[in-house]
């Protein structure tokens, strides 16, 4: 288990939102989270054909983020719509080798019928998906328990069903009580 996590905004995001993510990570894993210097939106990762941002390109930049503490997992939080080539979108992505992850608010902001969610639900969704991506960085795979943060979400409704923490099996896999 690392001694801390490093959070960074990728674009203009409220600091309070990052603090909420840091609290969720600490509750799930134990170590505190530092908040780094905000970065610009990841325009370098924009794909004009899809009108989305390639999450793997974002991860490559996060892996070499200036000022990132050595050997500390980094999580970038953004509001742009992320994708990988084989999927229409992703809520986030993690690269364990680089110890870098990214999570996006874009698809978490609304209900399946396009209505905006209230700020509390958005905050909770972001916390859950952040715990999910950091879980991958720490070696966890997807979980079959739909209440565990490591359960794979295909929709924001899936995220709403999940808890903010890890199930007993995932906690045990990390050596957590």
> Model's pTM, two decimal places?
0.95
Q: How sure is the predictor about 57, in pLDDT bands with cuts at 50, 70 and 90?
A: very high
CA-to-CA dists, residue 163 to 68, 124, 126, 131, angstroms: 29, 9, 12, 10
E-assigned strand segments in the chain:
5-10, 33-35, 46-47, 52-54, 74-78, 82-83, 92-95, 100-104
Look up residue 172 and give its two tokens: 């045990």
* Domain 5-173 = CATH 3.40.50.720: no
Annotated catalytic residue, options 93, 120, 129, 133:
133
Q: Where exactly are the structural domains of the chain?
A: 5-173
Neighbours of 54 (CB within 10 A): 19
Return the bridge partners of 116, or none. 110
Question: Of 34, 92, 95, which is closest to residue 64 (Cα–Cα)?
Answer: 95
pLDDT tens-digit map of 104-162: 999 999 877 788 889 999 999 999 999 999 999 999 999 999 999 999 999 999 999 99
**CA 122 distance to own-chain centroid:** 13
Q: Over pLDDT 90: what percentage of the chain?
A: 91
Concerning whether 133 is annotated as a catalytic residue, the answer is yes
In this structure, what are the phi and psi dihedrals at residue 9, rounded to the nearest 5 degrees? -80, 135
């Amino acid at each position: 288990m690392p001694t801390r996590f490093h959070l960074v905004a990728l674009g203009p995001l409220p600091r309070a939102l990052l603090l909420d993510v840091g609290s969720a990570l600490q509750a799930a894993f134990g170590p505190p989270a530092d908040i780094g210097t905000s970065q610009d939106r990841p325009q370098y990762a924009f794909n004009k054909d899809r009108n989305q941002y390639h999450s793997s390109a974002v991860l490559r930049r996060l892996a070499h983020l200036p000022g990132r503490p050595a050997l500390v997992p980094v999580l970038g939080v953004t509001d742009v719509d992320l994708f990988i080539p084989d999927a229409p979108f992703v809520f986030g992505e993690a690269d364990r080798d680089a110890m870098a992850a990214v999570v996006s608010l874009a698809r978490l902001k609304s209900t399946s019928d396009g209505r905006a969610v209230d700020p509390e639900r958005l905050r909770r969704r972001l916390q859950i998906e952040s715990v999910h991506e950091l879980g991958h960085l720490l070696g966890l795979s997807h979980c079959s328990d739909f209440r565990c943060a490591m359960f794979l979400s295909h929709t924001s409704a899936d995220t709403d069903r999940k808890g903010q923490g890890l199930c007993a099996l995932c906690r045990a896999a990390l050596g957590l009580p």
